[in-house]
Chain A
Amino acid sequence: MEAWQPAADFATLRLRAELLARIRRFFAARGVLEVETPALSAAAITDPHLISFAVHPDGPGSRHPLYLHTSPEFPMKRLLAAGSGCIYQIARVFRDDEWGRLHNPEFTLLEWYRVGFDHHRLMDEVAELTSILLAGRVALAVPERLSYGAAFQRYLGLDPHRATVAELASCAQRQAVSIPPGMPATETDPWLDLLLTHCIESHLGKGRLTFLHDYPASQAALARLQSGDPPVGERFELYLNGIELANGFHELGDAHEQRRRFEAENAARRARGQPEMPIDEQMLAALAAGLPDCAGVALGFDRLLMLAAGRPSLAEVLAFPFDRA
């Protein structure tokens, strides 16, 4: 095949269009409003593990770099705070340095917010929509919920909320995981990520939707914390056949706590020698004005299409993947 030609076949591209139409019918029937928000913003995500593409405008009067969004979360929360009610968006998003069998630097996210839902009620709806989209293509058993702690107990016999770096490192050694150079001596999250990706993910969602939920508080991102022992982030991820499909939160509405997390992430960026990102003050102002109690989720549409089409890589469901773009 020549480089000008599409990587996906037309049957797959027709399936893409059909699934997008079904998604729109699903939300129309539930009274969820489709919205569009800017892809370019003066603010950006602070998460040190996400790299935003920076755009340097050269038009007259332009001053600062702009960033392509990695998800439409911040402006969608501004809509929610302004009283939009339940909303969804099918957005093309951009993440630099993410390219592989399951990654393309630009991809399609289906992101939606349900006012009055918590993360468990939203998991029900994610399962419902996903099952409709995969019906007749992927056989699915009853969906499963597994807490992050229970998954680590089941597959590795350790408590991820309390394990020390030394315990996580010796677990990695027992599992014959190659330990990358430069792993941190005190921070446990990268070790948990190493074990999750190398030892657990491939077991998740075998022939069924598995929701991994109640993440360590340090990985709550934009989710609320549930006080308890240990406290956990009200966050979930959806897996099917070992592939991560979606990330959801019972959304944090506390502007002060959100600012503290953004600043901690920028501090982590400084410590790692990465550039700090401009914090989204408009989003924080929206939270301060009052975000309705809601849960939200971002689902990787291309990965879902890949599973529906029975293809082994993202490149086969994109008309023109990154290396042909």
Chain B
Amino acid sequence: MATYSTNEFKSGLKIMLDGDPYAIVENEFVKPGKGQAFNRVKIRNLKSNRVIERTFKSGDSAEGADVVDVELQYLYNDGEYWHFMDPQSYEQLTADAAAVSDAAKWLKEEAICQVTLWNGVPLSVAAPNFVIMAIVETDPGVRGDTSGGGGKPATLETGAVVRVPLFVQNGEVIKVDTRTGEYVSRVKE
């Protein structure tokens, strides 16, 4: 893997640090009037998603991380692993719970997801921004009833629970924004 000098640092660059892959979030070049210059970087650990601050002496370098984002199709969950397929090569890849994390509840079979690979292995999975799913369980709402904050919980086919307006009924199909976990609209099948 290539190494990158601090003068190539920019947001989005993937580097290795203490054995983990990181993405640069912010890079600030600081230099006193005269003397040693530094790059103060905010970097996100791609395994834990935690953002930390690190300082490098300007001119030093960091090893690049073999991290790429690919679009994969979600196939199924075998109880332990989530299986994905590259729609071009038909190559199959498995992701563990740490990689799938919060995306698990939005994964519906055949959905195309953005999967981040580190050394060819899924490191994280992002659900599609919007998903369309059927409601499998919700209390019958009363039309015009605006009590309870104007909503009620509804369980979707993947087990995710979202708040929906009272007029939405069991068995209906809805569109959800997975980034906020919020109901967007009803969808006519």
Contacts and interface: CB of A to CB of B under 8 A. Distances in A.
Contacts of B55: 177-180, 194, 198
Interface stretch (B32-40, B162-170, B171-179): B32-40
Interface stretch (B56-64, B79-87, B131-139): B56-64
Interface stretch (B23-31, B94-102, B112-120, B146-154): B23-31
Nearest to A96: B7
A101 interface: yes
Contacts of A50: 34
B53 interface: yes
B29 A103 contact: yes
Given A98-B37, A194-B38, A198-B40, A180 B57 contact: yes
B29 A197 contact: no
A237 interface: yes
A226 interface: no
Nearest to B27: A100
Contact of B31 (A98, A179, A180): A98
A47 B34 contact: yes
8 contacts: A49-B34, A50-B34, A98-B31, A103-B31, A178-B54, A178-B55, A180-B56, A181-B60
Interface stretch (A8-16, A122-130, A182-190, A286-294): A182-190
A221 interface: yes
Given A49-B35, A189-B35, A221-B34, A98 B29 contact: yes
A101 B57 CA distance: 17
Nearest to B7: A97
A195 to B, nearest CB: 10
A247 interface: yes
A98 B54 CA distance: 19
Size bracket, chain B contacts: 20 to 34
A49 B7 contact: no
Of residues A103, A180, A192, A219, which shows the largest number of chain B Cβ atoms within 10 Å of its Cβ?
A: A180
Interface of A: 47, 49-50, 97-103, 177-183, 189-190, 192-194, 196-198, 201, 219, 221, 237, 244, 247
Contacts of B52: 178
Given A178-B54, A198-B55, A101 B29 contact: yes
A193 B29 contact: no
Contacts of A198: 30, 38, 40, 55
A181 B7 contact: no
Of residues B54, B55, B56, B59, which shows the largest number of chain A Cβ atoms within 10 Å of its Cβ?
A: B55
A66 to B, nearest CB: 23
Nearest to A181: B60
Given A177-B55, A182-B60, A183-B57, A244 B35 contact: no
A226 B89 CA distance: 73
Interface in B1-24: 7
Contacts of B7: 97, 99
What 10 A-B pairs are tightest by C-beta distance, nearest first?
Answer: A100-B29, A193-B36, A193-B35, A190-B36, A247-B33, A178-B55, A237-B33, A197-B30, A180-B57, A178-B54
Contacts of B36: 49, 189-190, 193-194
Contact of B37 (A49, A189, A201, A221): A49
Contacts of A177: 55
A100 B40 CA distance: 11
A59 B86 CA distance: 57
Nearest to B6: A97
Nearest to B41: A178
Nearest to B57: A180
A180 B17 CA distance: 12
